[in-house]
A and B are shown apart, each in its own frame.
Chain A
Amino acid sequence: MSSPQTQGLPADLALVTGLKAGDQGAMAQLYDRYSSVVYAVALRVLGDTGAAEDVLQEVFLQLWRKPGAFDAARGSLASWLAVITRNRAIDLLRRRRPETDIEEVVVSAAPDLAAEADRSRAAEKVRVVLGGMAAEQRAALEMAYWQGMSHTEIAGKTGQPLGTVKTRIRNGLIALRKAFQT
């Protein structure tokens, strides 16, 4: 189902197919559609506009070089870009080499996030779910996600048992999933 913003505009899959043929116009359209998502994620992780711009550039260049890495049958491009952006930004934050090739990142997500309005509604929903979590669970999830902290580091910082930290992170992710299944 196309949302109001994407009606009449090429679908993500058509634009990604264009990338495979070297169509720079398709890349420009995808950039205009998703650069705000990628930049926001990179900036949230890195807290530095210059570094976030570098990640923005790198992520879209990776998409340009390997458009086949995105599996349209499994999820939305917005979700896929968000995941590889967050992973790359965390790699930079933690000063480690990229651990995962983008071709190995398969993301399954149900919501249609092609339109900015859809993403805004989804973001609001996520904030509501996070707001409803126990403070300890939300903190564990956010430390793992936005700071790239391991469960060991989180356990050391919060004084919580390792197993508890692990379970809180998983349950936090599952809570987000359930919110979008209803």
Chain B
Amino acid sequence: MTEHEQYADDLALYALNALTGEDRSRVEAHLSTCAACRLELEHLRGDAALLALSASGPRPPQRARQRLLNALTAEVKIQPAHTSVTSHRSWWGVLGWAAAAAVLVFALSLWRENLALQGMLASAGSRAAEDARELDQLRKIAAPIIEPESQRITLVAMKTPPQPQGKAFYLRGRGSLVFLASNLPPLPPQKAYELWLIPPNGAPIPAGVFKPDAHGSASVVNPPLPVGAEAKAFAITVENESGSAAPTSPIMMMGAGE
């Protein structure tokens, strides 16, 4: 019996996560040194995936989709970008100073984890193709802020101090929405803010679940929205952190189009 044959049966069990204790440790030690067995393990997992396909049943309920999309919005993430002022001067030129500042503040808030503004403005050269792709992404994000037909809505607190404020930029034709908020009060445990698009008729449409940072700032970028949904106003309520399909608490902030 070759060394590989010795492990063959255990590899199948390992692929099913059915191996425990010393047997599991022994197989893992062998896998760390044997490329052939690692490849065979990948194949066995593929075989097991085929077995999974024999499962059939009802489709997941519609609420599961909304629940996931709400959760994604709460985890908004954008990859770091590297772009060049000189190579894209014409695009920046169309921005007014105020809009440009808003875009920069917005980009910083999104990429604060791993983006230095200096790097964003300076890096270019051989990365032109990647820059162009990333600029296109930034342009899409910024569209609701810079497009003339974009609705500009200011949301203010139903009750005054400490003056929480939200700004929603909504481009109905593209279904693009950017929402920025500041001075939001801290949330109770297991709770999150939920943004709602209020149409002229019908029920409020979920437009993203979010939590503010330690400074009370938050953003929602391009949440999933029905194409062409008309917005009479935007509002915020406090919901469970997984999000709600309909508001379950009083409106905390609200604003109509300017």
For the complex, give the distance between the alpha carbons of A83 and B19 in Å: 16
Q: A86-124: contact bitstring with B at CB < 8 Å (1 yes, 0 no)?
A: 110011000000011000011111110100000100110
Within 8 A of B (CB), among A11-34: 20-22, 24-25, 27-28, 31-32
Contacts of B44 in A (CB 8 A): 170, 173
Q: State the Cβ distance, B79 to closest chain A Cβ, in Å.
A: 5
For the complex, give the distance between the alpha carbons of A131 and B54 in Å: 11
**Inter-subunit contact A53/B55 (CB<8 Å):** no
B: number of interface residues (CB 8 Å): 52
**Inter-subunit contact B18/A150 (CB<8 Å):** yes
**Inter-subunit contact A149/B50 (CB<8 Å):** no
For the complex, give the distance between the alpha carbons of A151 and B57 in Å: 28
Contacts of B12 in A (CB 8 A): 166, 169-170, 173
Q: Is A126 an interface residue (CB 8 A)?
A: yes
**Inter-subunit contact B46/A79 (CB<8 Å):** yes
Counting chain A residues whose Cβ lies within 8 A of the other chain, the interface size class is: 35 or more
Q: Is B52 an interface residue (CB 8 A)?
A: yes
Contacts of A141 in B (CB 8 A): 51
Q: State the Cβ distance, A163 to closest chain B Cβ, in Å.
A: 7
Most buried by A among B9, B39, B51: B51
For the complex, give the distance between the alpha carbons of A99 and B28 in Å: 13
Q: Is B72 an interface residue (CB 8 A)?
A: yes
Q: State the Cβ distance, A156 to closest chain B Cβ, in Å.
A: 14
Q: State the Cβ distance, A35 to closest chain B Cβ, in Å.
A: 5
**Inter-subunit contact A64/B20 (CB<8 Å):** no
**Inter-subunit contact A44/B78 (CB<8 Å):** no
Q: Is A37 an interface residue (CB 8 A)?
A: yes
Q: B45-75: contact bitstring with A at CB < 8 Å (1 yes, 0 no)?
A: 1111111111111111100110111011101
For the complex, give the distance between the alpha carbons of A48 and B47 in Å: 25
**Inter-subunit contact B17/A123 (CB<8 Å):** no
Contacts of A166 in B (CB 8 A): 9-10, 12-13
Q: Is B237 an interface residue (CB 8 A)?
A: no
* Known contacts A36-B59, A39-B60, A60-B68; A107/B45 CB under 8 A: yes
Contact of B17 among A90, A122, A130 (CB under 8 A): A90
Contacts of B50 in A (CB 8 A): 79, 109, 111, 122, 126, 176-177, 180
Most buried by B among A32, A56, A176: A176
Q: Is A6 an interface residue (CB 8 A)?
A: no
Q: Is B157 an interface residue (CB 8 A)?
A: no
Nearest residue, chain A, Cβ from B73: A24
Contacts of A28 in B (CB 8 A): 65, 69, 224
Contacts of A144 in B (CB 8 A): 13, 16, 18
Between-chain CB contacts (< 8 Å), 6 pairs: A25-B224, A79-B45, A107-B46, A149-B18, A150-B13, A177-B47
With A35-B64, A39-B60, A170-B11 already in contact, 5 other A-B pairs whose C-beta atoms are closer than 8 Å = A24-B222, A25-B222, A25-B224, A38-B60, A145-B48
Q: Which 6 A-B pairs have the closest CB atoms?
A: A109-B46, A170-B12, A79-B49, A82-B52, A108-B42, A166-B9
Taking beta carbons and an 8 Å cutoff, which residues of A are in contact with B? 20-22, 24-25, 27-28, 31-32, 35-41, 43-44, 49, 52-53, 56-57, 60-61, 64-65, 74-75, 78-80, 82-83, 85-87, 90-91, 99-100, 105-111, 113, 119, 122-123, 126-127, 130, 141, 144-145, 148-151, 163, 166-167, 169-170, 173-174, 176-177, 180
Taking beta carbons and an 8 Å cutoff, which residues of B are in contact with A? 8-13, 15-20, 39, 41-61, 64-65, 67-69, 71-73, 75-79, 137, 221-224
